[in-house]
Amino acid sequence: MEGIGKLCEDLGIDPQSDVRILVLLWRLGAVSVPGQISKEEFMTGMRAMGLSNLEGIRSALPSLDPGFLEHSKFKDFFHWVFQFSREGTNKTIEKEIVLEMLQIVLSGGMNRAPHLELFLEFMNAPITEKHKRITADQWDQFLHFETVTSSDMSNYDENGAWPILLDDFVEWFRTREREKK
């Protein structure tokens, strides 16, 4: 992460909140080690993107907004974010990291996640103690859930093949809505 941190510093972007660094790393092909990019991946990716220096990356920053990605490309990027965020050989990610990454990746103008704020609230509720780590399937299915589920969740199919995490989220939401009435 030291090299990535230095790159962010040189570009004047905050890696804790600016999704463009993740899009850049994805486009450069950072896949060999979670949380890192090898020199070979970096150099190969720079050539593939037609970039040769820091100024080139800086000028490319506006095009790295994920809002420009079609849904299928965004889905690939979203999956990559999970893989990149893993620690070592773990196949799951701690809940706290997931919450941070969801905010970085899904916040913004595209409204790809209409339930994001509610989901973040749910994940911070005591009921989610059993969900301390999140799997790649849960991560990927959350994005799918966001694209097919209505704002009031009335079309959610409890008998569908959703992860238990999402079943719990919908149950929490519906209970909360009933209690408001």
Please classify residue 96 by burial: count the beta carbons closer than 10 Å to its beta carbon, then call 0-12 exposed, 13-18 middle and 19+ buried.
exposed
**Are the C-beta atoms of residues 46 and 28 closer than 8 Å to each other?**
yes
Looking at every residue in the chain, the average pLDDT score rounds to: 93
* pLDDT computed for residue 88 by the predictor: 87
* pLDDT computed for residue 107 by the predictor: 85
Tell whether the model's pLDDT for residue 176 goes beyond 70. yes
Name the percent of the chain lying above pLDDT 90.
87
* pLDDT computed for residue 133 by the predictor: 96
- To the nearest 10°, report the CA torsion of 109, 112, 117, 119: -170
Q: Which two tokens stand for residue 8?
A: 């962010």
* pLDDT computed for residue 1 by the predictor: 52
* pLDDT computed for residue 155 by the predictor: 97
53, HSE (Cβ side, Cα atoms, 13 Å): 1
* pLDDT computed for residue 17 by the predictor: 92
For the question of whether the overall pTM of this predicted structure is more than 0.85, the answer is yes
Within 10 Å of residue 65's Cβ, how many Cβ atoms? Answer: 14
Tell whether the model's pLDDT for residue 84 goes beyond 60. yes
Residues 21-41 have a mean pLDDT of 95
Residues 124-151 have a mean pLDDT of 94
Which 8-state DSSP code applies to residue 16? T
Residue bearing tokens 């030291």? 2
Residues 68-88 have a mean pLDDT of 94
* pLDDT computed for residue 109 by the predictor: 63
Paired residues of 71 in beta bridges? none
| Separation between Cα atoms, residue 45 and residue 43, nearest integer Å | 5
Tell whether the model's pLDDT for residue 55 goes beyond 70. yes
* pLDDT computed for residue 110 by the predictor: 67
pLDDT bin (cut points 50, 70, 90) of residue 85 is very high
CA 101 remoteness from chain centre: 5
pLDDT, one tens digit per residue, over 90-134 is 999 999 999 999 999 998 666 789 999 999 999 999 888 899 999
| Separation between Cα atoms, residue 140 and residue 39, nearest integer Å | 29
Residues 171-177 have a mean pLDDT of 95
The runs of H, that is alpha helices, within 86-163 are 95-106, 116-123, 136-148
Q: Which two tokens stand for residue 22?
A: 């993740």
